[in-house]
Amino acid sequence: MKKWIRYTLYILAALFLLVMGWIYLFLNGNPVHIYQLEKQMKEQLLEQNYKESEISSIEGAYFFKFSTYSVYVKFKDEPGRFCSVR
């Protein structure tokens, strides 16, 4: 295989990976930012005198339609209800 064909294939593969990564970030948001929001929410709840044993789960989400991040908190004493913070 000639060198220019090989280099062209490498460039096309790199461009494909970059475009796919951009699409992933556009649709799912930045995973590091979501992790930081979850961590900040946990710290805030603990400062407000909630016990860690009262919290069932904390999940971050990104909505690409509105370009917003949200955090959902589920408490153990209210299993069917989520509290949302944007």
Residue carrying the six token digits 């153990």: 76
- Tell me if 2 sits within 8 A of 34, measured CB to CB: no
For 19-58, the pLDDT digits (tens) are: 999 999 889 889 999 999 999 999 999 999 889 998 889 9
Model confidence, pTM: 0.74
How are beta strands 55-63 and 68-75 bridged, if at all? antiparallel
Return the H-helix or E-strand segment holding 56.
strand 55-63
Q: Where are the domains of the chain?
A: 3-85
